[in-house]
Amino acid sequence: MKDKKQQLDILNADMSQCSDCVLRMQCSRVVPGEGNAEAEIMFIGEAPGQKEDETGHPFVGAAGKFLNEMLASINLKREDVYIANVVKCRPPQNRDPLPEEVSACWPWLLEQIKIIQPKLIVTLGRHSMERFLEGQKISRIHGTLVIKTIAGIGRQNFYTLYHPAAALYNGSMREILIKDFNRIPKIIEKIKSEG
Ligand code: URA
């Protein structure tokens, strides 16, 4: 039986060959995601931007630097968690991914989640949240633990945050994001204590 890292390595290598939507024709490379295959926490953003497209790593631009700082503030490193996106290829000019692009990429993300089996999925931004928690408003549910059964995954804990890129230059949103982020250790504790 292959361990989680081996399974993820195979999945992410397959993903790098994907051409199921038009995005792959316009981006430089697939950005599958990276981190600890045994992670308790999985962060899921929207889609790679320019820096991510250039390097093949998720969240390495300004938003990524901010994410790293927030992780450090709760004594976590990138290597402790898993970081991925709903869409694995950069949309041209960073436009919002189209519904058909999100749908084409969805099975890859589901497989990643099934392998990692995180205790908590932290969605970064509205688009990531909407994919799992359809019909919700980020302004209402940010910073709260939501438990939902998702087809293909099962019962899963979700925690919604504002996107670090959106909060970076918006003082009040930044404050809210940092406050919500700092609650992650307590949320994990609560999930563990409830078994
Ligand atoms: N924004 C995202 O949503 N994902 C990245 O990887 C980088 C920026």
CB of 165 within 6 A of ligand 1: the answer is yes
What pLDDT shows up at residue 113? Answer: 98
185 pLDDT band, cuts 50/70/90, is very high
Q: Is the pLDDT of residue 195 over 90?
A: no
Q: Identify which of 27, 42, 52, 126 to mutate to test ligand 1's pocket (most ligand atoms within 8 A of the CB).
A: 52
For the stretch 52-109, pLDDT in tens is 999 999 999 999 999 999 999 999 999 999 999 999 999 999 999 999 999 999 999 9
Q: Is the pLDDT of residue 156 over 80?
A: yes
CB of 87 within 6 A of ligand 1: the answer is no
Q: Give me the chain's average pLDDT, please.
A: 97
Q: Identify which of 29, 30, 42, 46 to mutate to test ligand 1's pocket (most ligand atoms within 8 A of the CB).
A: 46
Sketch out the chain's domains with CATH numbers.
4-193 (3.40.470.10)
What pLDDT shows up at residue 108? Answer: 98
The rounded percent of the chain whose pLDDT value lies above 70 is 100
In ligand 1, the atom with minimum distance to the C-alpha of 46 is 3
Widest Cα–Cα separation across the chain: 49
CA–CA distance, 47 with 68 (Å, rounded to integer)? 17
Average pLDDT (103-125) is 98
Distance 31 CA to ligand 1 centre (A): 10
Average pLDDT (168-183) is 97
For the stretch 10-38, pLDDT in tens is 999 999 999 999 999 999 999 999 999 99
Q: Could you tell me the pTM of the whole model?
A: 0.97
The rounded percent of the chain whose pLDDT value lies above 90 is 98
